[in-house]
Amino acid sequence: MGDVIGEFLAYAVGVAVSPVPIAAVLLMLVTKQARTNGPLFLLGWLAGLGVVGVIVLLIPGLEASQGEPSTTSGAIKGVLGILLLLVGAKAWRSRPVGDEVAEAPGWMTKIDEFGGATSPGMGFLLSALNPKNLLLAVAGAATISAAALSTSEQYIALAVFVVLASLTILVPVLLFLILGEKAEQAMTTTRDWMIQNNQTVMSVLILVLSVSMIGDAIEILF
């Protein structure tokens, strides 16, 4: 299983480095409902990644054949790599240039109004339906499915993937629950940096991961 974790680690890190979701949870943690909405956002995020992963593991034809990744898994990685390149190109074109200030998504201005259903729902959407995170979660789960693992080992590996991919959301929530308002200044500074540099960070990260994914596909297919 250690080999499989090594193979999907880059994809998990790619999901974890998600400036907008990180900024969202940091903003959420300085609102009046922080102790409720922060953990609920985290649960929604975990659920989103888990649902995507389970769906991929249930797809037939991805499992290893004679100890080798299947052709189907190679084809999926190739398609995902190309789609990631397109997402990265869009992010690069949208990045702030010069002294231009990046604008936060409109829904972020209403985070202080989030309730018990909105917070986990937003966490789910940002993990499972965000294009970058969806593609990387599918790639990570496809890597697990293509490995020569038993069913129980596959789901253990998926749980490891989800936890690793969630560390940048999990850690701020835990720090807030432990430190409370003492962590507010650091969270505010980090949030502002994430919003300003979101597109640049994403485009560079996606470029590296998409090239790696396409390389894996070529190795499997040819």
Q: At CA 159, angle to CA 155 and CA 64, rounded to 5?
A: 40
- One digit per residue, pLDDT tens: the chain, 222 residues? 778 898 899 899 989 988 888 888 888 887 778 788 889 999 999 999 999 999 999 988 776 655 567 677 778 888 888 888 888 787 777 766 666 666 666 667 677 677 777 888 989 999 998 888 998 999 999 999 888 788 899 999 999 999 999 999 999 899 888 876 666 666 667 767 766 766 677 777 777 888 877 887 887 777
- 44 strand-pairing partners: none
What does the pLDDT read at residue 91? 74
Q: What tokens appear for 100 in the block?
A: 């231009």
| Residue 123 exposed, middle or buried by CB count within 10 Å (0-12, 13-18, 19+) | buried
**Distance between CA atoms of residues 74 and 19, nearest Å:** 29
DSSP annotation of 101? P
Residue-level pLDDT at 189: 72
* Of 203, 202, 162, residue with least CA distance to 23: 202
Containing 63, the helix (H) or strand (E) segment is: none
- Tokens for 156, please give them: 């253990």
pLDDT score at 60: 82
pLDDT of residue 146: 85
- Report how far apart the first and last C-alpha atoms of the chain are (Å, whole number): 25
Question: What confidence score (pLDDT) does residue 99 get?
Answer: 62
Q: How far is CA 179 from CA 34, 72, 171, in A?
A: 13, 47, 12
Is-contact 203 88, C-beta < 8 A? yes
* pLDDT of the residue at 164: 96
